[in-house]
Amino acid sequence: MRKNIVAGNWKMHKNQHETVALLQEIIAQKKTSTTEIIVAPTFVNLAKAVEITNGSEINVAAQNTHQAEGGAFTGEISAGMLTDIGVTTVILGHSERRAYFHETDALIANKVDTALKHNMRVIFCFGEELKDRQINNHFNVVEYQLRDGLFHLEKADWRNIVLAYEPVWAIGTGETASPDQAQEMHKFIRELVEKVYGFDIANELSILYGGSVKPDNAKEIFSKPDVDGGLIGGAALNANDFLAIVQGFE
């Protein structure tokens, strides 16, 4: 059975004091649930987050990693450094990394390889821009992002892949894909993975939706058969909202 996951991408928000406070609130208010909860604070707060969440069933993810094992890359963080402090999940390919840091599909594919080599689980983000949807090219764009970013992988690698379909026009805009639009794309994605890697891998794959998920729309989006959870930005910065979204599966 594939896993339901709700992951919070905290982006460049929350200093250490605020990180601790938010995690303590989430841990205190969290109900028992079969949905996996992941939080992704900034790099400088990851070690603290691992310490605080220890024993809480909340997993901690990084928002990025470098593709090299190490070396003269000022300002960067390697996959080995992340696993060394107990961070075994990483978000790669987020649209903000693609847009503001010029990450290409080829670079992201490299990062995926490095993360997998370190036995990390990758939350691979992708999704079309508004202009692609307006000309009905969104399925093509998504297909190429997946082909170029992930379809070089071996079957066994897919155990450590989670997909996050995030239409760029819905991120941080308050504009959400309708539950039917999300389902339509998630079904397309699962069928594409099935064509290349077979039924078992496609059927076990968790495909998250991201883009202005809030407590009032989560339940309907999560009720769709090919939506296995969400990657949450803004609403993940508040414990009540984040946990209300997790409850969308109950």
* Least distance between ligand PEP and beta carbon 217 (Å): 11
Q: Give min distance, CB of 168 to ligand PEP, in A.
A: 10
Contact indicator for 197, 155 with CB cutoff of 8 Å: yes
Burial 184-210 (b: 16+ CB within 10 A, else e): bbbebbbebbeeebeeebbeebbbbbb
- Sign for the CA dihedral angle at 56, 58, 64, 69 comes to positive
11 is in an annotated binding site: yes
The Cα–Cα gap between 102 and 96 comes to: 9
Confirm whether residue 211 is marked as ligand binding: no
Amino acid letter for position 218: A
What is the nearest approach in angstroms of ligand PEP to the Cβ of residue 188? 19
One residue of 189, 233, 246, 249 binding ligand PEP per CB under 6 A: 233
* Residue 165: closest CA among 119, 215, 207: 207
Is 70 annotated as belonging to a binding site?
A: no
Q: What character string, x for contact with ligand PEP (CB under 6 A) and - otherwise, covers 8-27?
A: -x------------------
Binding to ligand PEP in span 67-106, by CB under 6 A:
none
Considering only residues 167 to 196 of the shown chain, the ones binding ligand PEP according to CB under 6 A are: 171-172
| Residue 234 among known ligand-binding residues | yes
Of residues 115-174, which lie at the interface with ligand PEP (CB under 6 A)?
166, 171-172
Q: Which of 79/229 has CB closer to ligand PEP? A: 229
Of 61-69, 79-87, 199-207, 232-240, the window that binds ligand PEP (rule: CB under 6 A) is: 232-240
Q: Is 248 annotated as a binding residue?
A: no
Rounded-to-integer distance, Cα 222 and Cα 246, Å: 10
β strands within 33-119, DSSP E? 36-40, 58-62, 89-92
Least Cβ distance, residue 141 to ligand PEP (angstroms): 17
Residue from 38, 213, 227, 245 that binds ligand PEP (CB under 6 A)?
213
Distance CA 88, CA 53 (A): 14
Question: Catalytic positions, please?
Answer: 94, 166
